[in-house]
Structure 1
Amino acid sequence: MVSTPYELLRTELQRDGSRPLLTFYDDATGERVELSVTTFDNWVAKTAGMLRDDLAADAGDRAVLQLPPHWQTLVWAGACWALGVCVTDSIHNASVVVAGPDALEDAAASDVQDVVALSLRPMGARFTDPLPIGVLDYAVEVPGHPDVLVPYVPPPSEELALEHGDSVHTLSGVLDLARDRAEQLGAEPGARLLIAGGELPSALIDALLVPLVVGGSAVLVRNEDTSARAARINSERVTVEAVPAETT
């Protein structure tokens, strides 16, 4: 049995890389993005390459994702876990902060060594206005990194992966969380989950790890127009509605 999220992603890539893994909607902008397992893996590899090569992140480091549930946020979590970097909500002892527009000012003013900014605009576009000095624009920096993460030394499964409040989980532990969550939701093999709302730690499990452990896919919705939910469930062939759950 695979023991880390990145191992599971690579296993699914070999099994069926062309199948959809994540469909993202932002109802405020009309954006819809669909990522296959292969495309998601490419983004994870590029982002992990940026983390490792540009920001010197390694197993045991900590990264704060000051981001909403978003397809790029899931990519960042996947990249962190590929390297053994712990995703945390505490800025204390963090070596990297990844911030969206709403959190950018506070992130830039922090004492954290490296700050990366995501515009969260459609198609992963760059910022239109200048960023604070020293802050990296993800959309500018990441394209030059390879689509494959090599050379690569996998982190051990007992490396910390997710820290949320008083809850701490290892790389193997987040997969255990996902398997338990899949059972709770009744997500059978090949399930397609709808995730709308909720906090980031919950979305990381429901929109990324549960689909991976069941060989399925997710529809992640930001700024949901709830009046469109029934039509979306039908058009996207959703089989499970994932009501946000606490990550404990």
Structure 2
Amino acid sequence: MDATDRTPADLLSSALVTDPARPLVTFYDDATGERVELSVATLANWVAKTANLLQDELSAEPGDRLALLLPAHWQSAVWLLACSATGVVAEVNGDPAAADLVVAGPDTLETARACSGERVALSLRPLGVRFPQPPEGFADYAVEVPGQGDRFTPYAPVAPGAPALTVHGGSGGSGSGILELTGAQVVERARADAEARGLISGSRLLSPLSYDSWEGLSAGLYAPLAAGASVILCRNAADLSPEALTRRRESERVTHSAGE
């Protein structure tokens, strides 16, 4: 990664220039059997479309706060990076009543209704398909995002020192508290975590951790992105047998693991 990268969106842009075809996020949902692999280029395309949706359709501005009520998922990674690209503050597990807009999955729709601003719902179904019946009061992400542009340019440059990420329920790792970081601090922490884990270009990190703490966010997105590595993000993996987990490590050529 470029040493001048100051925000997570910068890290993604550098990865797109360096090696757009390499896998960046491989997602498993062991409750549904879903497996999705996204290259740097594919993830960057989703991020650009989502950033355009945020900026143009939802009228989000730098400094606006978005309550992100999603599990560890490849689409959650997209939203985190789209927020970074637009200067919107991603509040993981934030209070929707205090947020300017909210993004929710099927399990958090009722909680998300407390937001008086724009509301976006994700079905989290395999292949990112739409809801069978759109939730009342929400824009269906799968309906809105395909028509957005494949390239994104913010109306105003995003300041690395501006607030970028708030994690409710985890202050740096497990435990209670609120962790608030600027874009530059996210990058700094991600690089430090990547070094501590021994991640280098080409490493493949398996993470079953949720996105409700910095540890989970770092292992599941930011540290691999900062190192030029890849993440194998596993949701609902708690019931996997040791044999199945070993087979996954072998098939995915895992070099590092989180949460052990």
Q: How does the TM-score come out when normalised to structure 2?
A: 0.89
- Residue 198, structure 1, aligned to residue 201, structure 2: no
Maintained 8 Å contact 1:97/1:112: no
Per-residue deviation, residues 113-152 of structure 1 (Å, max 9, x unmatched) = 11100000000010012311x3100000010001110365
Maintained 8 Å contact 2:100/2:115: no
Higher relative helix content: 1
Letter in 1 for 2:196: Q
Q: Once superposed, what is the RMSD of the aligned Cα atoms?
A: 1.5
Q: For residues 151 and 187 of structure 1, what CA distance do their matches in structure 2 show?
A: 31
Give the corresponding residue for 1:182: 194
Q: For residues 115 and 19 of structure 2, what CA distance do their matches in structure 1 show?
A: 43
Q: For residues 30 and 45 of structure 1, what CA distance do their matches in structure 2 show?
A: 28
> How far does residue 211 in structure 1 lie from its aligned partner after superposition?
1.3
Give the corresponding residue for 1:154: 157
In the TM superposition, 1:163-178 aligns within 5 A as 163-165=166-168, 166-178=178-190
- Residue 226, structure 1, aligned to residue 240, structure 2: yes
> How far does residue 176 in structure 1 lie from its aligned partner after superposition?
1.0
> How far does residue 70 in structure 1 lie from its aligned partner after superposition?
0.3
Structure 2: which 5+ runs fail to align? 169-177
Per-residue deviation, residues 36-78 of structure 1 (Å, max 9, x unmatched) = 0000000000001001111111111111111100000000000
Match of 1:13 among 13, 16, 21: 16
What secondary structure is seen at the aligned counterpart in 1 of 2:145?
A: helix
Per-residue deviation, residues 134-178 of structure 1 (Å, max 9, x unmatched) = 310000001000111036533010111111243110001001111
Maintained 8 Å contact 2:209/2:220: no
In the TM superposition, 1:64-103 aligns within 5 A as 64-88=67-91, 89-91=93-95, 93-103=98-108
Letter in 2 for 1:230: T
Give the corresponding residue for 2:230: 217
Q: For residues 201 and 21 of structure 2, what CA distance do their matches in structure 1 show?
A: 17
Return 155-164 or 195-204, whichever deviates more. Answer: 195-204
Q: How does the TM-score come out when normalised to structure 1?
A: 0.93
What secondary structure is seen at the aligned counterpart in 1 of 2:52?
A: helix
What secondary structure is seen at the aligned counterpart in 2 of 1:143?
A: coil
Q: For residues 184 and 234 of structure 2, what CA distance do their matches in structure 1 show?
A: 27
Letter in 2 for 1:130: P
What secondary structure is seen at the aligned counterpart in 2 of 1:34?
A: strand
- Percent of counterpart pairs with the same letter? 49
Structure 1: which 5+ runs fail to align? none
